[in-house]
Amino acid sequence: MTASGLLGGDGSARAQEVTLTVHHFLSAKAVNQAKMIEPWAESITEASGGRIAFEIFPSMTMGGSPPELYQQVRDGVADIVWTVLGYTPGVFPHAEVFNLPSVHSGSALVTNLAIQDLMDGPLAVDFEQVHPLLVHVHSGQALHTVGTSVRSIEDARGLKLRVPSRSGTWMIEAMGAEPVGMPVPDVPQAMSQGVLDGAFLPFEVALPLRLIDIAKYHTELAGGHRFGTTTFLLAMNQERYESLPDDLRAIIDDHSGEALARMAGEAWDAVEPRVMALAEARGNEIMHLDAEQSAPFLDAFRVTEERWLAEMAEKGIDGAALLAAAKEAVARHAPEAPGGVIGASE
């Protein structure tokens, strides 16, 4: 369902008390809406007996640009937004730990559950100005390139690569490549026109953006490792949330947090192999680097962790304790990954 109508159904609309707007930057067919936001909204509408309805605005149809989404929900322009934490640098320093390549497990489900373990603890301070419904990740970033087959770190040197976050910038620099920051909807045109040589993105985003028709090469690392991940936020305006009756707030709470983290993680993990198969069917080449080929990348990415720890120290944040807590949480949930432990978090 898009902005053309309400999620709720004809029968439930008679009891409708609240309509919540949801704004995000991807298309209505993308995984975030089709597999997460819509089922989540429908479950709340059903549980509330139709008292809560939702109107979803994909592709920034409420106006503004993707980096403005956090401000829109904070200020009440939209009731709910789905956005990338990295679009507002410096606002979420604690949650940034899950972007680091040494933390993410390679499974969205595992990392999502790990994030939930810390939401009421060290991550809470990042979200004091909004009501967080879910903080989550995707399954991890593969490297998609147009004209270069990246089989070694030397192959990546000098390439202009789209960066998803500050830590992504550091990763790209550590590879000897050139980071280029831009919102994800701008990536296909930039790659088609040669402004970018490639991008860090999961395969599930590469499908609606048609990147598997533009990029001819796709690289992922050994042992389930990807090139880090991106952390997302589904958040509600705090005043709007507090204005709801207690029973409706309880319904939203019951369908958010861990329950939504599990649903979102399973949806993201399920779509990756399907899109990879579609890319191969188009004649694209997917490189699964072995441990020897991957080692120079992983060694270089340790610089990312060191830079993040140094920045946390400057902010007065105990980055080492936060990093240890994040890795421990990921390890604790790793057996829940499809097929067992995916990757490592050393």
First-to-last alpha carbon distance for the chain, in angstroms, is 42
Q: Is the dihedral of CA 67, 70, 73, 77 positive or negative?
A: negative
| Residues 48, 251 contacting (CB under 8 angstroms) | yes
Rounded to whole angstroms, the Cα distance separating 191 from 202 reads 16
H-helix segments, 81-208: 108-119, 153-156, 166-174, 187-192, 203-206
Residue 70 is assigned to a structural domain of this protein: yes
The neighbouring-strand residues paired with 198 are 145, 161
- 38 and 97 share one domain: yes
Residue 5 lies in a domain: no
Any domain includes 346: no
Structural domain containing residue 316: 142-228+272-336
Of 2, 88, 85, residue with least CA distance to 41: 2
Residue 94 included in any domain? yes
SS3 label, residue 339: coil
Q: Which residues of the chain have pLDDT under 70?
A: 1-15, 224, 337-346
Name which of 10, 15, 132, 152 is nearest 82 in CA terms: 132
What's the DSSP call for residue 85? G
From residue 114, how far is each of 98, 105, 118, 142, 313 by CA, in Å? 9, 10, 7, 21, 23
Q: Are residues 56 and 204 in the same domain?
A: no
pLDDT of the residue at 36? 96
Task: Give the residue ranges of DSSP H helices in 78-136.
Answer: 108-119
Is the same domain home to 206 and 278? Answer: yes
- How far apart, in whole angstroms, are the C-alpha atoms of residue 270 and residue 247? 33
Identify the DSSP state of 29.
T
Give residue 15's pLDDT. 67
Q: Measured on CA atoms in the order 323, 326, 332, 338, is the torsion positive or negative?
A: negative
Residue where a domain terminates, one of 215, 240, 269:
269
* 185 belongs to a structural domain: yes
User: Strand pairing partners for 55?
Assistant: 21
* Token representation of residue 199: 């991008």
My answer on whether 244 and 222 are in the same domain is: no
Q: CATH no. for residue 240?
A: 3.40.190.170
Note if the pTM is more than 0.85.
Answer: yes
Residue 337, pLDDT score: 63
Of 342, 346, 345, 277, which is closest to residue 107 (Cα–Cα)? 342
Shared-domain flag, residues 327 and 276:
yes
CA–CA separation, 154 and 164 (whole Å) = 21
Do 3 and 57 touch, CB atoms closer than 8 A?
yes
Which DSSP state fits 336? Answer: G
Q: In total, how many domains does the chain have?
A: 2
In a domain, 343, yes or no: no
